[in-house]
Amino acid sequence: LVVIAIIGILSSVVLASLNTARGKGANAAVKSNLSNIRAMAELFYDSQSPNTYGTFALAACPTASVAVPGHMFVSATVVNAITAAKNAAGDTTNLNRCIASATAPGSWAASVPLKVNEGTFTTWCVDSTGASTGRATAITTSAC
């Protein structure tokens, strides 16, 4: 009985550690997908003449069916990366955000909720300045 009790205690400790690791792994996937968005944004910027990210703002990320020509957040690859980040986070409240400034062309930001909070951070954000940081809330402007 003592051996069975010890095995039970050890297995509960291992299972608790695995849940933490799963959450951290999902957060890493969110961060990776958002980093990919920054690289995609630079490719989009370089492909435009004149160079621009577009001047279109959205409270929530668009779907590929949104027809706004010449804006990076309508690019299917960017939408897919944001969707992947959202799915990795298990976002059921649709707090993923993509915002490009209409008044400051070239200024944009994207944020997605984290799977598990990292201290006070509940979302992860990347923007056109190269920032990649945690936030307590979803973005409301074109900067982290």
113 prior amide bond cis, ω within 30: no
In order, the DSSP letters of 66-86 are: ---TT-GGGSHHHHHHHHHHH
Q: What is the mean pLDDT of the chain?
A: 75
Structure tokens at 55: 């001047």
Query: pLDDT > 90: what percent of the chain?
Result: 3
Q: How far apart are CA 118 and CA 23, in angstroms?
A: 10
Higher pLDDT, 7 or 141: 7
Q: What is the mean pLDDT of residues 1-22?
A: 85
Q: How far apart are CA 25 and CA 122, in angstroms?
A: 15
Q: What is the mean pLDDT of residues 61-86?
A: 61
Higher pLDDT, 109 or 65: 109
pLDDT of residue 140: 80
Q: State the chain's maximal CA–CA distance in angstroms.
A: 75
CA nearest 44: which of 79, 18, 9, 5? 79
Q: What is the pLDDT of residues 101-139, one digit of tens each?
A: 666 666 778 888 888 888 899 888 888 888 889 999 888
